[in-house]
Structure 1
């Protein structure tokens, strides 16, 4: 687990950078810090004594940020973020992995809610979507053009 890094993933973020550069899309930054107020999920399974339901300041680092357009883009791995198409639960240590992956999904929801309440738009791209750059570009251009949340 310690050798798995959250940034610089060759198969997802680097592939998305290549798509952006090939399409000459500019105005983005990687891992830009966005200070936000996050809310803990009251229904999450937490050990006793933890900070359930409390507000706390946190720094969110979306994979890609279009600052002027207030668009945060996350490139999610199919395993780590529980892709509805490709996720397959491990057979060993099932309890650990179920809690770990569900915590990732819950954290993603909290971050999305915090970003949206701060006026940001959020786009999630799945790892498997990067195989078809035209589909990724269509989705991205739609979000860049849309002024809705």
Structure 2
């Protein structure tokens, strides 16, 4: 959908050299980065289902993922990047529209 919009980007790339974090979609020139977060791994408020076995391990893992997401967003925003986070269950058309709006310089809705 993004390509059909005429947008060109990198996939699974590191937006900032030296920052060991990869984003799903990166627009280097426009400094827009997109993360598509999985409902299970990133604790979606609508769809996440807690683990029923080895809960101590999984709870630590989920908390670690959430802390890293917050830190990643903060670091990128401090470096003047626009960060878009989408849940895997979101309609692709809606996410593509948000991304295209951000890349073209408007405030995403």
TM-score (norm 1): 0.64
Count of residue correspondences: 107
The match for 1:82 is 43
Which structure would you say has the larger Rg? 1
In structure 2, C-alpha distance between the alignment counterparts of 1:138 and 1:82, rounded to whole Å: 24
In structure 2, C-alpha distance between the alignment counterparts of 1:58 and 1:20, rounded to whole Å: 25
Structure 1: gaps of 5 or more residues: 1-18, 37-56
Q: CA deviation at 1:136?
A: 1.8
In structure 2, C-alpha distance between the alignment counterparts of 1:87 and 1:122, rounded to whole Å: 22
In structure 2, C-alpha distance between the alignment counterparts of 1:125 and 1:72, rounded to whole Å: 11
4+ residue segments displaced more than 6 Å: none
Q: Does the 8 A contact of 2:15 with 2:33 survive in 1?
A: no
Structure 2: gaps of 5 or more residues: none
Q: 1:133 to 1:85 in 2, by over 3 A?
A: same
Note the aligned Cα RMSD (angstroms): 1.9
User: Is 2:5 aligned against 1:24?
Assistant: yes
TM-score (norm 2): 0.85
